Amino acid sequence: MAAEPMRVRAVQDGELVEVKILMKHRMLSRLSWDSRGQFVLPHFIQTVRGYCNDKLVLYVHFGGSVARDPYFSFKFRDGKKGDRIVISWIDTEGVTRTDETIVT
C-alpha cells in the first residue's frame, strides 16, 4: 500500500528555518486483533530524516507511543530562502515516504 503524501512547510524566521510536517499514518502501536480474530502487528513510523540541500539536519527515531497522523516541527540554523528541504520516513513494515518543499 502506498503511503499518503506528507504536508511539509518550511519558513525562514530570522536566522532559523522552521519546518512543519503532517505525516499521514495509522501508527498502530501494539498487538491487536482484527474482526476475524487474527493478530495485527504494530505498524508505526520508526525513523524520520530531514535534509536541507542534501545535508542531514534531522534524525528522529519514533517509538510506538506517537499518535495517528503525527504532526512534527523542528528548527535548524544555516538555512535560507530557496533551500530544498527533503523529509523521509520508514515504518516497521519497510514502507517509505519522501516529500520535499522549498524554504520560503
Number of domains in the chain: 1
Q: Confirm whether 89 is domain-assigned.
A: yes
Selection from 86, 89, 101 nearest residue 11 by Cα: 101
**Which pLDDT belongs to residue 40?**
82
Q: Confirm whether 26 is domain-assigned.
A: yes
**For residue 53, how many other CB atoms are within 10 A of its CB?**
14
Q: Confirm whether 1 is domain-assigned.
A: no
Average pLDDT over residues 6-14: 96
**Which pLDDT belongs to residue 92?**
92
- The domain containing residue 64 runs over which residues? 7-102
Q: Confirm whether 2 is domain-assigned.
A: no
**Partners of 43 in the beta sheet?**
28
pLDDT of residue 1 exceeding 60, the answer is no
**Which pLDDT belongs to residue 98?**
97
**Which pLDDT belongs to residue 66?**
85
- Model confidence, pTM: 0.88
Q: In Å, how far are 17, 35, 40, 96 from 88, measured between CA atoms?
A: 18, 32, 25, 7
Average pLDDT over residues 29-49: 87
Task: Round the average pLDDT of the chain to a whole number and report it.
Answer: 92
**Partners of 47 in the beta sheet?**
61, 90
Q: Confirm whether 24 is domain-assigned.
A: yes
Cβ(85)–Cβ(100) under 8 Å? yes
- The CATH number that applies at residue 30 is 2.60.40.10
